[in-house]
């Protein structure tokens, strides 16, 4: 359905495009726009600008709108599949013959700039552009274009035609009167026939032009059912069929019982009518005080294509160096692919310029860790490149991003404070506390869905690290079932406590039984449980909170801060007393693995544990790094650090080992016991072995000795196994019951008896 042979109207006034236009047309059509779909956005935007102009003019001259249909400020889309033509009609200001020549024959010479110069004394009119570069995007999909136009200042209706081949023609239009405005008829290319489908056009309007300030209609069809009266021919056929089914009883039915109501049937037919496409209102342009919660929820569902209400929202207007309006929403649930391709994923914000959708793939508006936030940003002043598909690099982007991040974090903070206020109310009313203690707050839901994103923010966003730290939630040794904030932890700290204690592991149940917590729990210190693999990365970037340092309970040199003089003297005396034993134990252990053997100040009931150096990986971090598919063995060897064996001088196993080592320092059995105790402590502390077979061998040797099995005892062969098995008697075959032979006479006799 090619329109390449279509010619200009007979007698039309033909013009050549400017030389610059001809050169740039090829660039625009073949290079400038990467997405053909945007042609509809550009034409609707132009129509919206034209409608804005006539509306502005009508403020001082009401007669400019005219009467009847001309008063309807709207945009209409219609398709003619037989001719392969897509039409877009607006009732805007229109163009004169000279406007058509100047605006459509000169590249990027926009009628908007001239209009604004004439309206300097008018109000705040911000227009994207009437038939600037954007108009020529139509040639991405068109073989031939007609622009029919009527302006109030021109008694004649004109038509502009072009194939984008270097020439255009203008002639008087004798077609259907437009009253006022423009109609663009796009003769679609063979490969662009998809734009004749109603579903495709509805999709594009919904994506790019949903919030245009004027109604957009499409001429569409739908199937409707209606009752129609059965015609005589049909009725005769029906009566004949009924006669065949009549019975003699019909004679008993009186004429009075017959129904005189006309007989009908249901038929389906296709009805054509104008359908409104942009029912959603641009509520961000209104004051937040004028929008109720129901409107925000409806807007969010339309924007996010979800059926659930948002957890929270914020609506604000930024003024100053850069002006923009925005609405941000927090979804109730995180998308399943939230962290897939994390660093290449764009934010979920939609960027509009004067209510026209530009893109939802900008990285500059929000940092990656806030990519779950959905919403709208609309600016009148953002500098777009010539195709409007990407923003030019501009300092205003940094300003917008900074304000958006601040507002987003404030929204999350308020959500957290609401949950905290609810908890305080429960605490003040004992009955309410009992009834609602198990209820999940909005912030609890937020944390389950987006807590990992907040932790990523602490790693990535140094400027907002403290704000993000206040949003952290976790379980602790004193609050294993209820999430706690760092602020709450600090409020509940013991007098004299100088450190925030935490421990990281695979699960809360594992951490609760960790030997690292024995003395901390005995002293009634609260310990934070970290069970998310990202937690240790987060704590590497968050070293303190509210002037309190963080301390990993699994690292060496753990300090409690409340030791009195007598305890310090006792610990010093123990270190001196066990000095020889710790040196012996250190010499027994592998040189490459163990840096030192020390008296522990953290163990109560466990004989010994293994800790890592202050700046090395913890056991949990080592486990996480080993699980990485692309882990570097060289880096792991460096970061793993040296281990320290801490022993409990009060434990009977340790004291017994000390006695044996002092009785015979060279005893292989005693040395083997010392190594097994170290390796067992490694397992309990969360470490794994490079050579697990060695540990298993030593453990089995200890079991063998304990059971009195000789070291050189042989493993039985198969024949010895067979000989050791008890002899089984052969099973006698089962005897089947004999079935007597039955003769024919016997069968006859049995039959008679039956």
Token pair listed for 477: 């040794």
Q: In what order do the strands lie in the sheet with 643-647?
A: 594-599, 643-647, 608-612
State how far the Cα of 611 lies from the Cα of 644, in Å rounded to an integer.
Answer: 5
Instruction: Check residue 31 and report its DSSP letter.
Output: I
pLDDT in tens, 651-707: 999 999 999 999 999 998 899 999 999 999 999 988 887 788 888 888 888 888 888
State how far the Cα of 529 lies from the Cα of 538, in Å rounded to an integer.
Answer: 13
State how far the Cα of 699 lies from the Cα of 678, in Å rounded to an integer.
Answer: 12
pLDDT in tens, 353-381: 777 777 777 777 889 999 999 999 988 77
- Calculate the CA 710 to chain-centre distance: 64
Nearest to 357 by CA among 35, 617, 636, 619: 35
What SS3 string covers 91-110?
A: CCCCCCHHHHHHHHHCCCCC
- Mark 349-366 as b/e (b = at least 16 C-beta within 10 Å): bbbbbbbbbbbeebeebb
Q: Which residues lie below 8 Å from residue 188, measured CB to CB, with a gap of 6+?
A: 1, 3, 84, 85, 86, 141, 142, 143, 195, 196
- Calculate the CA 343 to chain-centre distance: 13
> What pLDDT does residue 373 have?
93
What global pTM score does this model have?
0.70
Q: Would you say how long the chain is, in residues?
A: 754
Strands (E), 135-201: 142-150, 158-162, 167-172, 181-188
> What pLDDT does residue 123 have?
39
Q: 272 has which bridge partners?
A: 221
Nearest to 643 by CA among 661, 673, 616: 616
State how far the Cα of 277 lies from the Cα of 260, in Å rounded to an integer.
Answer: 45
pLDDT in tens, 119-132: 444 433 333 333 44
Token pair listed for 182: 């423009």
DSSP string, 566-592: HHHHHHHHHHHHTHHHHHHHHHHS-TT
Q: Are 431 and 420 in contact (CB under 8 A)?
A: no
pLDDT in tens, 27-78: 656 655 667 888 898 899 889 889 988 888 888 888 888 877 777 899 999 9
Nearest to 159 by CA among 168, 144, 146, 140: 146
Q: 596 has which bridge partners?
A: 644
> What pLDDT does residue 118 have?
46
Instruction: Kindly report the number of other CB atoms within 10 A of residue 582's CB atom.
Output: 19
Instruction: Kindly report the number of other CB atoms within 10 A of residue 507's CB atom.
Output: 9
Q: Which residue has the tokens 């309970």?
A: 553
Q: Are 80 and 1 in contact (CB under 8 A)?
A: no
- Mark 94-112 as b/e (b = at least 16 C-beta within 10 Å): bbbbebbbebbbebbbbbb
Q: Which residues of the chain have pLDDT under 70?
A: 1-5, 15-34, 105-133, 164, 166, 231-262, 346, 383-394, 419-439, 561-564, 629-641, 728-754
State how far the Cα of 363 lies from the Cα of 245, in Å rounded to an integer.
Answer: 76
State how far the Cα of 648 lies from the Cα of 608, in Å rounded to an integer.
Answer: 6
Q: Which residues lie below 8 Å from residue 214, measured CB to CB, with a gap of 6+?
A: 47, 48, 51, 73, 74, 75
Instruction: Kindly report the number of other CB atoms within 10 A of residue 8's CB atom.
Output: 19
Instruction: Check residue 209 and report its DSSP letter.
Output: S
């Amino acid at each position: 359905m090619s329109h390449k042979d279509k010619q200009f109207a007979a007698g039309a006034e033909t013009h050549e495009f400017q030389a610059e236009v001809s050169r740039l047309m090829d660039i625009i059509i073949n290079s400038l726009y990467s997405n053909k779909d945007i042609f509809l956005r550009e034409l609707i935007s132009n129509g919206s600008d034209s409608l804005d102009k006539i509306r502005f003019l009508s403020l001082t001259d009401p007669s400019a709108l005219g009467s009847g249909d001309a008063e309807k400020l709207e945009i209409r889309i219609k398709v003619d599949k037989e001719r392969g033509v897509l039409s877009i009609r607006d009732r805007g200001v229109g163009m004169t013959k000279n406007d058509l020549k100047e605006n459509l024959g000169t590249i990027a010479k926009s009628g908007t700039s001239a209009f604004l110069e004439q309206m300097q004394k008018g109000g705040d009119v911000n227009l994207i552009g009437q038939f600037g570069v954007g108009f020529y995007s139509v040639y991405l999909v068109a073989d031939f274009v007609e622009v029919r136009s009527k302006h109030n200042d021109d008694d004649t209706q004109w038509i502009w035609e072009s194939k984008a081949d270097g020439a255009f023609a203008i002639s008087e239009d004798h077609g259907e009167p437009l009253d006022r405005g423009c109609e663009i008829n796009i003769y679609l290319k063979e490969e662009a026939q998809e734009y004749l489908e109603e579903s495709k056009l509805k999709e594009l309007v919904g994506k790019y032009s949903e919030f245009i300030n004027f109604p957009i209609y499409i001429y569409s069809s739908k199937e409707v059912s209606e009752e129609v009266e059965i015609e005589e021919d049909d009725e005769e056929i029906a009566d004949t069929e009924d006669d065949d089914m009549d019975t003699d009883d019909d004679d008993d039915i009186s004429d009075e019982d017959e129904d005189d109501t006309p007989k009908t049937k249901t038929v389906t037919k296709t009805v054509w009518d104008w359908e409104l496409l942009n029912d959603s209102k641009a509520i961000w342009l209104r004051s937040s005080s004028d929008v109720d919660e129901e409107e925000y929820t409806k807007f969010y569902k339309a924007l996010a294509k979800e059926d659930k209400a948002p957890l929270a929202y914020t609506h604000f207007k930024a003024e100053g160096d850069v002006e923009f309006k925005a609405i941000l929403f927090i979804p109730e649930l995180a998308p399943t692919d939230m962290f897939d391709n994390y660093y290449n994923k764009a934010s979920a914000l939609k960027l509009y310029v004067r209510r026209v959708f530009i893109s939802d793939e900008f990285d500059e508006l929000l940092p990656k860790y806030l990519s779950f936030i959905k919403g709208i940003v609309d600016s009148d002043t953002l500098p777009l490149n010539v195709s409007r598909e990407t923003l030019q690099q501009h300092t205003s982007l940094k300003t917008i991003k900074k304000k958006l991040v601040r507002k987003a974090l404030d929204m999350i903070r308020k959500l957290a404070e609401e949950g905290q206020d609810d908890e305080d109310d429960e605490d003040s009313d004992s009955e309410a506390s009992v009834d609602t203690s198990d209820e999940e707050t909005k912030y609890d839901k937020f944390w389950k869905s987006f807590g990992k994103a907040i932790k990523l923010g602490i790693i990535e966003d140094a400027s907002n690290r403290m704000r993000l730290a206040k949003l952290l939630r976790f379980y602790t040794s004193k609050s294993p079932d209820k999430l706690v904030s760092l602020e709450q932890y600090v409020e509940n700290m013991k007098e004299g406590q100088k450190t925030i204690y935490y421990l990281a592991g695979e699960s809360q149940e594992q951490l609760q039984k960790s030997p690292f917590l024995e003395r901390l729990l005995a002293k009634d210190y609260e310990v934070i449980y970290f069970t998310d693999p990202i937690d240790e990365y987060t704590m590497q970037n968050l070293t303190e909170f509210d002037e309190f340092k963080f301390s990993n309970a699994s690292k060496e040199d753990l300090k409690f801060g409340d030791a009195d003089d007598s305890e310090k003297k006792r610990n010093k005396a123990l270190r001196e007393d066990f000095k020889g034993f710790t040196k012996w134990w250190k010499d027994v252990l592998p040189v490459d693995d163990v840096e030192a053997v020390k008296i522990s100040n953290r163990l109560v009931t466990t004989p010994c544990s293994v800790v890592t150096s202050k700046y090395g990986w913890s056991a949990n971090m080592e486990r996480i790094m080993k699980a990485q598919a692309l882990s570097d063995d060289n880096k792991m060897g460096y970061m793993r650090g040296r281990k320290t064996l801490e022993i409990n001088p009060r434990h009977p196993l340790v004291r017994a080992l000390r006695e044996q080592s002092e009785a015979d320092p060279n005893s292989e059995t005693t040395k083997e016991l010392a190594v097994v105790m170290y390796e067992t402590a490694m397992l309990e502390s969360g470490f794994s072995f490079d050579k697990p077979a060695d540990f298993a061998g030593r453990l089995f040797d200890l079991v063998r000795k304990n059971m009195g099995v000789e070291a050189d005892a042989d493993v039985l062969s198969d024949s010895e196994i067979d000989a050791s098995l008890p002899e089984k008697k052969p099973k006698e075959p089962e005897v089947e019951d004999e079935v007597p032979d039955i003769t024919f006479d016997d069968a006859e006799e049995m039959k008679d008896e039956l």
